[in-house]
Structure 1
Amino acid sequence: MSDNNQAEDSLQCIGCGAFIQTQNPNELGYTPNSALKKAQELDNDIYCQRCFRLRHYNEIAPVSLTDDDFLKLLNKIRDSESLIVYVVDIFDFNGSVIPGLHRFVGDNEVLLVGNKEDLLPQSLKRRKLKDWLRQRANEQGIRPIDVALVSAKTNRSVDGLLSKIDDYRQGKDVYVVGVTNVGKSTLINQIIRQNTGIQELITTSKFPGTTLDQININLDDGSKIVDTPGIIHKEQMAHYLKGKDLKIVEPQKQIKPKVYQLNPEQTLFFGGVGRFDYVQGNAKHGFTVYVENNLLIHRTKLANADNFYEKHFGELLTPPDASYIDDFPKLVRYEFKTTEKSDLVIEGLGWITVPEDIVIAGWAPKGVSVLIRKSMI
């Protein structure tokens, strides 16, 4: 092995944690040899090409790490003695659940963190929201020691979270876990910023799959915070959208709920990425929609909905934009009959709060989950 390769073996990308290599552009950690030498000469932080492009051009590159690779990394948690900080996206709770997390936790305590709290209306009582999150976690077999609400993006309540972490860890290591795109690396960045003053140490992006290997952050008492890779949740809407369309679908600021008075056999389209049908009921009802404020919503008759979609998909009904409509998955229908006030959830898009005792249907791109749950609000 050359001296150059030996040097590379000891280097990790400061953004994603992947080991730096200069041989294969299609593998993790690749950076051009010239860029590596320049960074070393100037004593600059070293980023792989993928993270460099992500930071400077907001471009994402596909990665070759498999789901099994992610799960193997998380397996280390089971045998550790640590505090688990489990980060979920409040706006997309179901899409941010780690399937079978209880198998990775072992005997370790879990602090549940609901991120993106700033997106929800202030009218929603935060104590009620915490109870709702705890109940949903219990359904997944997780019994959190506490629930914290934060906004990593705005730094809201991060101080309080740090206090909770310090109280509960009792000198132990801390593992931060979550699926891709829940804002986990943004949260870690805030923690680092408050502890060290370093800005943007970990690469952040709206695109899934940014942290490629665990990153250790040393604490004063000799223990550490470990930022683990996000598990890829293939049912997330973000995996099917490109470029600026993500910003049209993923909420950018506090959601303004919209109420639609619908008669039976009426339909709402959410751009071209989702659809809601009021199929059957005894009366006109109000349906409250929680989606990104700038996403265009169109109402039509159920009988005309299929033709309306076929005619306007990629134009009036956008996103997706016309550049990739041929590759965009077809919408798949899921029907439900409600027995209580409920949310019909299209993962990664939002939800519609609906009354009891009606028949409804939700449509989402093939591969994206649609489900019914007890109403959050």
Structure 2
Amino acid sequence: MAETETEPLYCIGCGAQIQTTDPNAAGYTPASALEKGLAAGEVYCQRCFRLRHYNEISDVRLTDDDFLKLLTQIGETDALIVNVIDIFDFSGSIIPGLHRFVGKNPVLLVGNKVDVLPRSVKRSKVRRWLQEQAHAVGLRPLDVLLTSAKNGYELDDLLAAIDKYRAGRDVYVVGVTNVGKSTLINQIIKRTTGTQDLITTSRFPGTTLDKIEIPLDDGRELVDTPGIIHREQMAYYLGPKDLRLVAPQKPIKPKTFQLNSEQTLFLGGLARFDYERGPHTGFTLYLDNNLLVHRTKLSNADDFYERQAGKLLQPPRPNELAKFPPLARIQFTPKVKSDLVFAGLGWITVPAGVTVSGWAPEGVAVTIRPALI
């Protein structure tokens, strides 16, 4: 390991301990680059350097045991837990069992990416909905706030809430990968110190590899933690060029399809929606604006997917098709107006009393929930 005379060095982009011996391990940087970094006063590992300057990603991942150890350590501290979730992908951005790990520590729930919701959606309703969803999975947050790490929406309100609820304690910021956690912390650093883009961020899962500790004015710390791997997210089945389709950057423009029973919608080649039984009715889709939707008859759907996956139905791209899992089906007949959710991709609003099926790659969650909009 590379060290100063008194203590180890850590990458200021991802938190990994700097080392100059193993190019395939976290924290690697060539000795020559390390010398330049020390002279400039900022040390990045090679992985962060390439990601920041060339948008290249090296496949360095933490194990499930690493994340379990991290969560256990958080429960043993006396701190405020700031749980960042992706409003666009609530079910795919909840940390499974978080309420069991945080112990007695208070939790502040922060709904990020509020800017991608349609502008007509009332923010007060979104906050209430998030509170209800959190309670349903066992979380009892002190408060729920909405923000946009991308544009700093209501950042001052968030900073005030953190200062209020931490009561002189450390702050741990936790979340699954791709919720915008490190981008949000960069906004906080920029607002409070003027330093820009200190922590490495990207659409790639697992960018932060170890805890990054940022000092607060009172001697306490704001701690950015590695994104928890949530294996039910669609992002883990997409190539780098298509990650933008599961991380919308602009407000979603809902699309409504009028369907008869026994019709199918393909969401690219990533997922499938079957309207099995019910009257002629409309279904509204909330997806990235660039994801193409194709309609066909239910009776032709299997054959259509077999012929067109990787061709007309993209993503997956042709060179990724061999590794793409088969689509698995789950059927629902909701009793009230509901959202059929494809974790990490989007959702379709379904009226009460009809029978529908959602198909997604094996391992990606398909669930039903009370309608958000």
Q: Same fold (TM over 0.5)?
A: yes
Q: Which residue of 1 aligns with 2:308?
A: 312
8 A contact 1:9–1:19 mirrored in 2: no
Q: 1:23 maps to which residue?
A: 21
Question: Match for 2:74: what amino acid?
Answer: I
Q: How far apart in 1 are the matches of 2:31 and 2:285? A: 51
Q: Give distance in 2, aligned partners of 1:262 and 1:342.
A: 17
Which structure 2 residues correspond to residues 39-118 of structure 1 after superposition, within 5 A?
Answer: 39-40=37-38, 42-118=39-115
Residue 92 of structure 1 aligns to a residue whose secondary structure is: helix
Contact preservation (8 Å) 2:204, 2:240:
no
Matched, 1:273 2:274: no
Give 1:51 shift.
0.8
Distance 2:89 2:61 in 1: 26
Matched residues in 2 for 1:260 and 1:8: separation?
Answer: 64
Q: What's the RMSD between the two structures over aligned residues? A: 1.4
- The equivalent of 2:324 in structure 1 is 328
Equivalent residue for 2:181? 184
What amino acid does structure 1 have at the position aligned with 2:368? I
SS in 2 for 1:123: coil
Measure, in 2, the Cα distance between the counterparts of 1:59 and 1:365: 26
Corresponding position of 1:222: 219
Partner of 2:36: 38
Unaligned runs of 5+ in 2: none
Contact 2:3 2:9 in 1 (8 A): no
Q: Name the amino acid aligned to 1:301.
A: K
Q: Which amino acid aligns with 2:214?
A: I
The one-letter code sitting in structure 2 at the alignment partner of 1:191 is I
What is the alpha-carbon distance in structure 2 between the residues aligned to residue 286 and residue 158 of structure 1? 37
CA contact (8 A) 2:112 2:149 kept: yes
CA contact (8 A) 1:342 1:356 kept: yes
- Rounded to whole Å, the distance in 2 between the matches of 1:64 and 1:219 is 29
Give secondary structure in 2 for the equivalent of 1:91.
Answer: helix
| Offset from partner CA, 1:236-282 (integer Å, 9 cap, x none) | 1111111221113431200011111000000001111011000111x
Pairing 1:346–2:355 present? no
The reply on whether 1:362 has 2:358 as its aligned counterpart is yes
1:264 matched to 2:254: no
How far 1:74 sits from its partner (Å)? 2.2
Would you say the 8 A contact 1:9–1:20 is kept in 2?
no
- 2:277 touches 2:355 (CA, 8 Å); kept in 1? yes
Q: Which residue of 1 aligns with 2:143?
A: 146
Partner of 2:293: 297
Aligned 8 A contact 2:81 2:171 in 1: yes
Counterpart CA distance in 2 for 1:71 and 1:184 is 19
Residue in 1 that maps onto 2:126:
129
- Deviation digits for residues 289-345 of structure 1 (CA, Å, limit 9, x no counterpart): 000011100111000111111111112111111221111111111111111111000
Q: TM-score, normalised on structure 1?
A: 0.96
How many residues are treated as equivalent by the alignment?
A: 373
CA distance in 2 between partners of 1:45 and 1:5 (Å): 14
In 2, Cα distance between the equivalents of 1:16 and 1:298?
A: 40
Q: Give how far 1:30 is off.
A: 0.8
Distance in 2, matches of 1:79 and 1:9, equals 25
Residues 138, 5 of structure 1: alpha-carbon distance in 2 compared, 3 angstrom cutoff: same
Name the SS of the counterpart of 2:89 in structure 1: coil
Structure 2 CA distance for aligned equivalents of residues 194 and 250 of structure 1 = 24
Post-superposition Cα deviations, 1:94-120, rounded to whole Å, max 9, x if no partner, equal 000101101221111111000000010
The secondary structure found in structure 1 opposite 2:82 is strand
Secondary structure of the 1:244 match is helix
Counting aligned pairs with the same residue, the percent is 63
Cα pair 2:170 2:220 within 8 Å, conserved: yes
- What's the offset of the Cα at 1:6? 6.2
Give the distance between the partners of 2:61 and 2:250, measured in 1 at CA: 33
